[in-house]
Amino acid sequence: MEQPPDLVEPVLAWYDVHARDLPWRRPEASPWSVVVSEFMLQQTPVARVLPVHEAWLERWPAPAALAAAPTGEAVRAWGRLGYPRRALRLHAAATAMVEQHGGEVPRDREALLALPGVGDYTAAAVASFAFGQRHVVLDTNVRRVHTRVLGGAEFPGPSVTRAERDRAAALLPADEATAATWSVAVMELGALVCTAADPSCPRCPVAEHCAWLRAGRPPHAGPPRRAQAWAGTDRQCRGRLLGVLRDADGPVHRQRLEAAWDDDVQRERCLAALVADGLAVATSGATYALPG
């Protein structure tokens, strides 16, 4: 599908006025700050990330500082952001930067992609946002904007398709710096205006080009979008157990873990999973702690 003639310019003009002042977007932000933000923002809202990102950069202002710290401290500092395996992956990525890149965040997308815990989206995002390069950056917000404006549907499919990637590539401005700004501007448009639950079409700078709006905003025609359950799930149980370990100064007796979750079978399953994932260690037959 061809790019509407006035799509890029209105989005960039809107972003100039409405972009949020986020620390990892400021001119003085280091590439490491961008890396940390991208790991933290996976499945976590900006408001929850901001204080943790600030504390993290104060404590570990460069990859070498984090790599020198025990993995358990990374898990502890991750706090309640959720999906704590991201803390282990970020620690592993920092270690690889020290061992393979002189303690610096690599500029090359392929080198970024080779880091532990870095997938296609994160590699493209860091290359674009930290180094001003021209890459297709497709997160949930960007995919939703593209799907609505150009595809006429409410939501994209569950995974990125080749057609989506080609369409996004065709939208990229030729100039590297402009392309990098375009990528973050579309992401911001999806986060603030073209939202999943309550899109504000009157505020959209490209509403006149939007195929979904012209079609009367037809509802999603694909499989039902299920809200993630939380209460009573293994995720909640793991989070409760990890919270006990994170808040302790040393090893925790299993009696404290038993008090945190009363379903014996589920608790033991989740505790074993935490150990298997490297998020906890058994320090004796009856005590557990964060990894050293």
Q: What amino acid positions are annotated as catalytic residues?
A: 38
Residue from 134, 219, 202 nearest 168 by CA: 134
102 CB contacts (<8 Å, ≥6 apart)?
none
Q: Side-chain half-sphere of 161: how many Cα atoms within 13 Å? A: 8
11 CB contacts (<8 Å, ≥6 apart)?
182, 185, 186, 189, 205, 206
CA distance 222 to 193: 23
CA distance 3 to 74: 44
DSSP letter for each residue of 189-222: HHHHTS-SSS--GGG-TTGGG-HHHHTT-PPP-S
287 sits in which H/E element: strand 287-289
The dihedral region occupied by 79, where left means phi > 0, alpha psi between -120 and 50, and beta the remainder, is: left
Residue 144 near residue 155 (C-beta atoms within 8 A): yes
Phi and psi angles of residue 200, each rounded to the nearest 5 degrees, phi first: -105, 75
